[in-house]
A and B are shown apart, each in its own frame.
Chain A
């Protein structure tokens, strides 16, 4: 179907069409995108004229009142009231006041209904993740990674995906207030001006800023200007999940605080010590991509050793995993270092004597790791997680240097955050100052420190001593309650700013929407202290970058390119060169820190893969997202191993009293396979008591047990069983692929690299038996449909070898497809709605299981069992092989779901959208129907994206090329495990994967002919460690 003939005519036609105003242009719009925009030309009274002849006619509905004026009748009042409510909702959607620039410089033409993408950045720990945000008529609806950004490479995390939900969150703080007194921003500025001139008299001695760690050059400049004005003022960075150990450790090793930049791509052997590098941290998206690229089954496949206390997604990907308490990891590393030293690595010689007597791990393991590292000198990598103390980081740095990994798999660079450390130590000094009464004005822009700070700091109580405490936050949270003044923060999607990636690349943060609830931007708050609070963040930011000399010549043009591209070229920061480690000094420095561990059970804190440190607690998407490992939703749990639970006579859901030092909290127990014995892991971020409605009453606050001298782990915790029990809402109750011992084909096929590379192994017969054989087709009743004549034959392939189970795809799908959440009770009943679910199975022993994850959405069977049972033709097959849902035809018999062997259909048991606020509705994807109660729904292969792409390529008179059409899950996936495309294009990636020797069809034996196929999981075990046992299982 060629459109070439028409193409030219169409282009002309398009040129003739009057172009519509682009966001930010000042010309008065003839087409309006919101009532407010339309009314900008006519003041509000003029709008009333609109009603005069239409909906609301005062003369018709009103009545003469005694004073000769019109009083409004009840009916008329209701009409106006409902209209104004509607207007309030629509009017909330306003474009940012300043010009923002979309990602791809398209013709200056905004077509209503066609979304634009804008590049921006988001910093979880202050380092940038470059994003692309889809915007429909000025409303951000979907987050993607910016492919041009060195950190995200086009993918995202579930945190980033949730931003389009939180921006519309109705619970956000909406009013500047001092105590209970509402303040106007101008009043605040006036009061601040008065205060600062007073503070300035003694150089700002009583002025303190408690900020989140940030890499923003712009905020750094503002900070410098504030410090210029108030030389005695101080800035302190704080994050409750800061990785101070890393910077302190490099200081021990190299003499100056540095951050490690890992390059997993060139590592043949990775030893991860309590480091969830695929699941958290500033580099996780890029590292996931690099790691997955090296999992291709070949001789080049990397090998991952993980030593950790609780199972993480990195541990789940491990080829060998050793579980041990977090406090013992240092001793393990010391033993490894001394073993390496004894094998003749000269640089480590001074560290040879670090070995400690306690060796409760398998010595074979240590030998195997040491041998593997030695074999791969220069191409190995030791990563240490943020929870580990400085000594462990220092040793790892020394080991990496000694192995010659420096520059190849890891490099060290100056931290880009304005403060090298942001943990307990800097906060401790601030706390002492407050306690000493030396702080007059404290500006807190850090993320909810009252909730996150160690309990022994008693920050909430201390804040009472600060005469003027100002909190700048998104929510009326715990910190807001403890501070005198509250300034509602603008959301990251509502703010101007800049951020740097770990490699130094700068991204300009541009807002997608004007602050919905009148939020203030961080730069404005800080600027208030240099008397520029009313200038505006945009002007300040632009002015700052104008002076940076990055854009010689046409600054405005360059600026727009920066905004459009999402990165500022040439801003990458070089790594430190010529680093050496003084082994002798290091040995002395770390030896005391590696002292014998104390006895007793270990208490360990962990950032949560869903709530992080609590800042995402009000996100229903993340609350309902199943935990990547435990599949727990809407709760956290004290995680222990089976052996520990047995020793204490505990079952899942038993509430225990956890006593540690002088404090006690109650928490429910959850047994987790692969968890270290004698350790209880407490995820942070729950038990929130702030004003966030969603977060209220969810889980327990592990921070209640967190002390400044033991922010991550310590010994000496006691668990006491109580009478109480709670019921968890877990989406996958079963651990193994055959929970009751049945002998059904396992949903996930996994094999070792040796088996995969040997064409005669049992593995190959196993997968061959589970995929179509052209010579022996499966028997069918009907003649199979021939799809080869169609332009496309859509299909998907999921490489289980690349899936880490991180769950970014789940949230991406939820965001793209307007999928509702159902709440804790309904999840417990088994009514969760996420279209894609990530199944997690354990194989092997409970103590040291292997973990496999399997994303499963509708597989679009060619002979779909759901279709023929629907009595009303509400689910039908498309010409290109999509299994389609016709929502408005569905009557909800649920037979299709019963007959779906994959159980991937989701039913709206209740009218969940009743709970949506007017604001949340703005965040819906207008391309996808919002489903009401009583309707079945499921994965559509993002049919709206297919159709949109079909339209645009037809206009261009060509076919959709492989790779230019991505489903939401595929686009969000950091590892590229999900591939979508057309099987009629034999060169497409998906066609190649369908022909891969690892391909198998889930439930092949039923004959459903799924279009989504799986590629078997492959492990690369060290032959010296033998095969981990595979048999057996637990329920």
Chain B
């Protein structure tokens, strides 16, 4: 097949979706994208893995200590009943949103540029949700009961969960989200697993990948079934992008606490989730595309698009902040006013507040500039700042709101303990460990989709020369 001369460059912004697409065939794409799986683990991988594993060890130790001694090993107190545990939960859940958004919503909108990054982002979703799921369980006083009393099962004592409580909604929202994300990710993997099976060199690998591929042989019927079920799951996932963080925001919004009790939370949380999720994808993608040799499929076009999304969602988030403060003043509620204009801006935790404002409001503004939007060091650094900023935002919401609420006699400060810090560091370790294993055993880019994209770009006369439909 003679490869036609492809012009996959935007005349205005000449950046390709597949670098050197013309020179690629299915085989070369296959080889280049599966290479990092077949390549033995290098020194770099082992070094990263060692760091991740030791952080994971901290997680194991701190969870064990928490279960052995109780929540008293954390810094929580009355009034700060929720602290790092819930911050981390919300932060991780938020990070998970990028994957679903990229995979599902961009798929439904037929955004072709999603193909190179969706696998990556979906895996991150999954791992982030695993990290997030740890916290609701271990942050309870008696996790051995929480594990099943939160679930509505018919029992002889006839007591059901309290369906008025947003925490009960949370259980459904997050577990649904995890299940759908897992299915969606796995389904997307099936053709690639089959490709791995076919290119395996050893019998054991062939067997394992073969089992995981579930007998996918690439027949027309397989492809047809695969396609429609993938779109179906994408359709199921789409509302989840909105619902999960909406319900997480209800954990706060349904309460009476100034700083929590606000109607803007659902959209503001979802925007924040996408914002932080994209930032996290950036933070990992930039080194991964370099070290795994994926620069030809994860191009500057991808990175730039993601920066644009971060700019947009960053503006949403800034608007959320603005509105919170405006309503606090406009409503005339003295407690809410005090929360935003005294406690947050000028209270003992004002450092966190101003860090949040800097990272989430100021930093994304640099993406207005084309030059900075396309500068790898700038965007990488900015993405890390945004992660920090979004963590601070949750700190502000959870701890700062609680530590000074209505009656000054029971205001207390909050100090995290070593357990709090190792739990947070530990989940980063868990996330990294899972992610490194993912990079080692599963193609980081959806090979099938890239090949498909190449074909589409090559054969579809109606295809947008840039590979983007508007």
Contacts and interface: CB of A to CB of B under 8 A. Distances in A.
Interface of A: 732-734, 736-745, 747, 826, 829-831, 837, 839-841, 854, 856, 865, 868-873, 889-895, 897-899, 901-903, 905-911, 933-936, 1002-1003, 1006, 1008
A909 B73 CA distance: 8
B334 A745 contact: yes
A126 B360 CA distance: 68
B109 to A, nearest CB: 36
Interface in B239-262: 251, 254-257
Contact of A869 (B167, B337, B343, B411): B167
Nearest to A876: B162
A854 B409 CA distance: 10
A747 B405 CA distance: 12
Contacts, number: 190
A81 to B, nearest CB: 26
B342 A935 contact: no
Interface centre among A733, A890, A903, A1003 (most CB of B within 10 A): A903
Contact of B257 (A894, A899, A910): A899
A683 B312 CA distance: 62
A891 B81 CA distance: 14
A837 B161 CA distance: 32
Contacts of B251: 895
Contacts of B343: 740
Contacts of A905: 78
A889 B149 contact: yes
Contacts of A737: 408
B412 A934 contact: no
B78 A906 contact: yes
Nearest to A840: B409
Nearest to B159: A873
Given A890-B141, A898-B82, A909-B70, A736 B77 contact: no
A846 to B, nearest CB: 16
Given A902-B407, A935-B142, A831 B165 contact: no
Given A865-B255, A869-B166, A910-B70, A903 B405 contact: yes
A898 B257 contact: yes
Contacts of B70: 908-911, 933-934
Contacts of A868: 162, 164-165, 254
B144 to A, nearest CB: 9
B62 interface: no
What are the 3 closest A-B residue pairs judged by CB atoms, nearest first?
Answer: A892-B141, A934-B141, A909-B72
Given A898-B81, A901-B407, A871 B141 contact: no
Contacts of B81: 894-895, 897-898, 907
B365 interface: no
Nearest to B69: A910
B289 to A, nearest CB: 41
A297 B76 CA distance: 43
Contacts of A893: 139-141, 146, 167
Contacts of A907: 71, 78, 81, 141
Given A865-B255, A871-B167, A894-B82, A738 B408 contact: yes
A903 B410 contact: yes
Interface of B: 69-73, 75-82, 139-143, 145-146, 149-150, 159-162, 164-168, 171, 251, 254-257, 334-335, 337-338, 342-343, 346-347, 402, 404-413, 415
A737 B334 CA distance: 13
Contact of B141 (A736, A899, A936): A936
B342 A871 contact: no
B257 A740 contact: no
Contacts of A839: 407, 409-410
22 contacts: A732-B410, A741-B342, A743-B337, A747-B409, A829-B77, A837-B409, A856-B407, A868-B162, A868-B254, A871-B168, A872-B149, A872-B159, A873-B159, A891-B141, A891-B150, A894-B141, A895-B82, A895-B167, A898-B82, A899-B257, A933-B142, A1003-B406
A9 to B, nearest CB: 35
Contacts of B413: 733, 830
Given A837-B409, A872-B161, 16 more contacts: A740-B342, A742-B337, A829-B77, A841-B409, A856-B409, A865-B256, A869-B165, A872-B145, A889-B159, A891-B142, A893-B141, A894-B141, A903-B410, A933-B70, A934-B142, A935-B142
Contacts of B159: 872-873, 889
Given A902-B406, A909-B71, A744 B161 contact: no
B343 to A, nearest CB: 7
A829, A837, A871, A1006 interface centre (most CB from chain B within 10 Å): A871
Contacts of A733: 411-413
A905 B402 CA distance: 14
B412 A830 contact: yes
A744 B256 contact: no
A743 B342 CA distance: 10
B256 A901 contact: yes
Give the one of B343, B402, B408 with max A CB within 10 A.
B408
A742 B413 CA distance: 18
A934 to B, nearest CB: 3
Contacts of A936: 141
Given A868-B164, A910-B70, A740 B409 contact: no
Most buried by B among A732, A826, A854: A732
Given A869-B166, A870-B162, A899-B257, A826 B409 contact: no
A901 B406 contact: yes
Contact of A934 (B71, B168, B407): B71
Given A747-B407, A933-B70, A871 B347 contact: no
Contacts of A829: 75, 77, 412, 415
B329 to A, nearest CB: 12
Given A871-B161, A871-B167, A899-B255, A891 B409 contact: no
Contacts of A740: 338, 342-343, 346-347, 404
A897 B161 CA distance: 18
Contacts of B404: 740
Contact of B334 (A734, A743, A891, A894): A743
A740 B143 CA distance: 38
B257 to A, nearest CB: 6
Contacts of A873: 159-162
Contact of B254 (A747, A869, A935): A869
A266 to B, nearest CB: 36
A906 B72 CA distance: 13
A1003 B162 CA distance: 26
Nearest to B165: A871
Nearest to B169: A871
Contacts of B69: 910-911
Contacts of A903: 78-79, 405-407, 410
Nearest to A906: B78
Nearest to B411: A734
A739 B71 CA distance: 30
Contacts of B164: 868-869
Contacts of A732: 409-410
Contacts of B141: 890-894, 907-908, 933-936
Contacts of A854: 409
Contacts of A909: 70-72, 76-77
A889 B139 CA distance: 16
B347 to A, nearest CB: 7
Contacts of B166: 869
A931 to B, nearest CB: 10
Contacts of B405: 901, 903
A109 to B, nearest CB: 36
Contacts of A1003: 406-407
A831 B72 contact: yes
Nearest to A872: B149
Contacts of B162: 868, 870-873
B140 A742 contact: no
Nearest to A936: B141
A734 B404 CA distance: 11
